[in-house]
Amino acid sequence: MGVLVGKKAPLFEATAVINGGEFAEKFSLEQYIGKKHVVFFFYPLDFTFVCPTEIIAFQDKIEEFEKRNVAVVGCSVDSEFSHWAWLNTEKSNGGIKGVKFPLVSDISKTIAENYDVLAGEYDYNEEGEMEFHGEAVAYRGLFLIDKQGVVRHQVVNDLPLGRSVDEAIRMVDALQFFEENGEVCPANLKPGDDAMVADADGVAKYLSNH
């Protein structure tokens, strides 16, 4: 699994469904550079069991992201038509109706490949025929991208393991606190907690944030 932290996030142009039902043919994360932080996450497939719980959880906390000036963008290997159908299916029937943030279609699997979250790979068999080994879907990867387009945090879960949206928000807070104050963030930092600075001798000390 590749580490993208500290590197430019791979850019792309792909079709996405935005605002719960509108097609955007040349959607790109580039639109956010210089303007917003981005939480860009992958999920395996539409119309599954764990994925709607995560996506709805992100939507439930969307105001928390928006007040931090953070764009939330989801992505899977499904087509834009599958995204649209899922977004227009009631939650009681396994859908995600009411979700408004963009869902990107990575039907070519190139975005997942570039972010190194594809749960398998292509190879040739003994007959020289191309085969896919593993599952042709994305792991549950999440990437926090700053306003310069640089990945500052990533986490990748195996397919059965759902994510914590609250942890994604905490990482946004930690990054933004560092950007605004220049101090490092200790474990489990939350708004109002003490940050840390190094003194002239390089010894870490807590700095009151109250």
Residues identified as active-site: 51
Is there a contact between 87 and 17 (Cβ–Cβ < 8 Å)?
Answer: yes
Is there a contact between 24 and 103 (Cβ–Cβ < 8 Å)?
Answer: no
Type and span of the H or E element at 39: strand 37-42
Sort strands 70-76 and 130-138 into parallel, antiparallel or unpaired. unpaired
The arrangement of strands across the sheet holding 103-105 comes to: 22-27, 14-18, 103-105, 70-76, 37-42, 140-145, 151-157
Is there a contact between 141 and 42 (Cβ–Cβ < 8 Å)?
Answer: yes
Is there a contact between 3 and 117 (Cβ–Cβ < 8 Å)?
Answer: no
